[in-house]
Chains A and B, each alone.
Chain A
Amino acid sequence: MKRTPTVGEILQAKGVSRRGFLKYCATTASILALPPTMIPRIAEAIESARRPSVIWLSFQECTGCTESLTRSATPTVEGLIFDAISLDYHHTLQAAAGDQAEAARHAAMEENNGDYLVLVDGSIPLANPGFSTIAGISNVDMLRETVAGAKAVVAIGSCAAFGGIPGADPNPTGAVAVSELVTDKPVMNVPGCPPIPIVMTAVLAHFLTFGELPALDKHGRPLAFYGTTIHDRCYRRPFYEQGRFAETFDDEGAKAGWCLYKLGCKGPITYNACATTKWNSGTSFPIEAGHPCLGCSEPDFWDKGGFYEPLSTGNFDSGAKLAGAAAVGAALGAVAATAGRRRQAKYTKEG
């Protein structure tokens, strides 16, 4: 087996100076959401990190995640990481197709058995494996076969992480998340619809740098990016505390950039890095653009009530059923009072 070069060696080969390396480490720390005090450790780790093999599987998905990733990968400094990554299989991006592509996948699996990383976007249909196949192989079979020799699995996007849109009620394909099928390997979820590009590359960078998955939350998401809510880091948070809310999308409050809570913002229960990392190379994020957060990085976000229903709205039927409850109460009350009266009549008779 060929010895893969370390990242340090790759950078050196590219003629990057030590100063450039330091800059690279600083920006890497920044995208990994690690404190600047971690920079020396990152430098140390990166110098000796070895280029990993990556296999990317796409199942029931819309390619939005790949789109998002590619938006990030080329122009930014972390593109360098991709120079350091051997993306051996990605049927959307790779030139090879058909048997050739599958052969590449098998070759990568064999060469890097036990060391490679599997990235998955899209959910896996279980109702009928025939709903989604690649090269005649059902998604579930391909996943099982591919992760067998993997070091870790990363579920990219809400579909792979939680079932996403295919898994939404009534879930006609019986779509499930990767984590439901892969139980014997470390699985990291990078949800979002799509996930923030820089978050995708950052978690890969983390794996590359430290050779392991970062710390995860209860939904398997890297804490560095999914550790705080949108609400907690939202620049509009002070308006929430002051009780200044946009009531409609075109009122003065909306124009003045007030809190979007009343318009259904799911920021308070959504764990993601949008508010700080932002999108499109740090340009903006939905709330900054005036739209409430949909909560796309949370499990089952499609089925959690209306996007424009305020978070504190009770999720229950009122009206008729409550009237029914009132009628039941009235009947019980009448029964109780009648029983009381009967008792009185009886006692009066008995004296």
Chain B
Amino acid sequence: MTTVDGRHAIDREAERLAYKPPEIRHDTQGDMSTEDRVEKAMHHFVKNFNTQTASYLDGCLHCGMCADACHFHVRTDDPRYTPIWKLELFKQAYKREAGPFAFFYRLFGFKKKVTIDQLEEWQHLLYDSCTVCGRCSLVCPMGIDIAGLVSMARHGMFKAGLIPHELHEVAKRAAETGSPLGITPDKFEDRIEWMADEHEVEIPVDAEQADVLAVMSSIEIQKYPQSIAATAKILNAAGEKWTFRLDGFEATNFGMLSGNPEWQKEATMKLINAAIKIGAKLIVLPECGHAYMALRWMGANMLGKPLPFKVLHISEYLSEALDQGKIKVNAVDTSVTYHDPCQVSRRGGATEAARNVLKHLGVDFREMEYGGDYNWCCGGGGGVVTITRADPLRRRVFKLKMDQVEKTEADELLSSCANCRQSFDDSQEYFNWDYKMGSLMEMVAENLEEDGS
């Protein structure tokens, strides 16, 4: 090691990115009194307490191991980013309001009432610094699903009007226009036409009756429109009787991410109703992680009964179609590593689907160290990518992902989530990183065996 002036050593290993905690900014929505906000938060915390959440909130040992699983803590060493600490207020509410000993907690004041100051402070912890990726849920020796609890705690925050503005705006736009990015049915139709022309592919829209309902993520429609064409190519090649519906195309669910159960239900019901209307047997979800969680695992519960159709993530659909020979692909001579969308793989259970697709593609697949279910999150999930004030933190966290990807030395980096793709693209640009994320679906679409159809 050379010393330039003899006093300061040059540390080539030093972080190039100095982390500065984001400026504390407490956003509020609506004009409620402070008391109302606290009460709302409390009420909507309490509504979530059922046997499962109660056992989780009662069972925490304060062992702190979740901190070691959380990218936000690992990259900053800020103890506040300990996942279970993000739930401290939720826990506090539980112990006071619904726990088995709630009476005594209130009587003796063992747990104080949650205050507005706390709620404001926790806004940063429940939104900016949690992607609901669920890695912490896997390290917990008590098996507590911390990520699931964060989603529920957000209900109280939303109702109290205490969430980051950007996320609120996006969610509100989604509720008002049907799309977080303001993609109206007309705009979607325009895009479909454009893509149909550009890629010379037939794209059915608003069929009265179809077996398969394909849906899209606004991020794809807006930023990666080629995925519309890719979806069409694949479904056409598979010989499906399928359609897009202008009355139910938006797969993202910012009601869920922001913490508003009503908006969440509204968005989900649009898809369910559209599918029921056309008598679909299957909804194929686009490359979007949280869409999978929202419809595949929470959809039926919004409806209140089992869904009359199946729900598959596109990677699952591809995997099945390839296995069944519905579509065939040409071998691709490249090496690939795959970034697992947390909600599809770790929390959704479809980890193997993407790997099976890559096997069919014949690529040299290079699993990341602890890839698959233990994958590091892109840092932008759970709505975090929309929160601009959280950008420095998100990019700092992304370093883990970069290291993980670089270690594989693969030629290409693929994923199957537009949200991940968006945060990858952002960080790629920011860091001038060598890897540009591609789409698994697009790789399949580009390499379809034409005569196979």
Contact = CB atoms under 8 A, between A and B. Distances in A.
B91 to A, nearest CB: 14
B47 A344 contact: yes
Contact of B103 (A336, A344, A351): A336
A351 B43 contact: yes
B213 to A, nearest CB: 33
Contact of B99 (A332, A340, A344, A347): A340
Given A343-B97, A347-B43, A350-B43, A336 B102 contact: yes
Nearest to A329: B100
Interface bracket on B:
10 to 19
B49 A340 contact: yes
A65 B263 CA distance: 92
Contacts of B159: 351
A344 B49 contact: yes
Interface in B231-267: none
B46 interface: yes
A351 B46 CA distance: 11
Contacts of B97: 340, 343
A344 B100 contact: no
A309 to B, nearest CB: 36
A75 to B, nearest CB: 69
Contact of B47 (A332, A336, A337, A348): A348
B130 to A, nearest CB: 24
A333 interface: yes
B46 A343 contact: yes
Interface in A204-241: none
Contacts, number: 34
Interface string A320-351: 00000000000011001101100110011011
Contact of B102 (A340, A347, A350, A351): A340
Contacts of A348: 43, 47
A339 B49 CA distance: 12
The residue in A337, A343, A348, A351 that gathers the most chain B C-beta atoms within 10 A of its C-beta is A343
A342 to B, nearest CB: 10
Interface SS majority for chain B: helix
Interface in A288-323: none
Which residue, B40, B42, B43, B99, has most C-beta atoms of chain A within 10 A?
B43
A339 B99 CA distance: 9
Interface residues of A, number: 12
Tell me which of A333, A339, A347 has the highest count of chain B C-beta atoms within 10 A of its own C-beta.
A347
Nearest to B100: A336
Contact of A343 (B40, B98, B100, B101): B98
A91 to B, nearest CB: 66
Interface in B86-119: 97-103
A344 B101 contact: no
Interface string B45-89: 011010000100000000000000000000000000000000000
Contacts of A347: 42-44, 46-47
A339 B102 CA distance: 9
Nearest to A346: B43
A26 B298 CA distance: 92
Contacts of B49: 340, 344
Contacts of A336: 99-103
A333 B100 contact: yes
A344 B99 CA distance: 12
Nearest to A337: B100
B121 to A, nearest CB: 23
Interface in B362-413: none
A340 B103 CA distance: 10
B215 to A, nearest CB: 31
Interface of A: 332-333, 336-337, 339-340, 343-344, 347-348, 350-351
20 contacts: A332-B100, A333-B100, A336-B99, A336-B100, A336-B101, A336-B103, A337-B100, A340-B49, A340-B54, A340-B97, A340-B98, A340-B102, A343-B97, A343-B98, A344-B49, A344-B98, A347-B42, A347-B47, A348-B43, A351-B159
Given A347-B47, A348-B43, 8 more contacts: A336-B99, A336-B100, A336-B101, A336-B102, A336-B103, A339-B103, A340-B99, A347-B44
List the 6 closest pairs (A to B, CB-CB), nearest first.
A340-B98, A347-B43, A336-B100, A347-B46, A344-B46, A343-B97
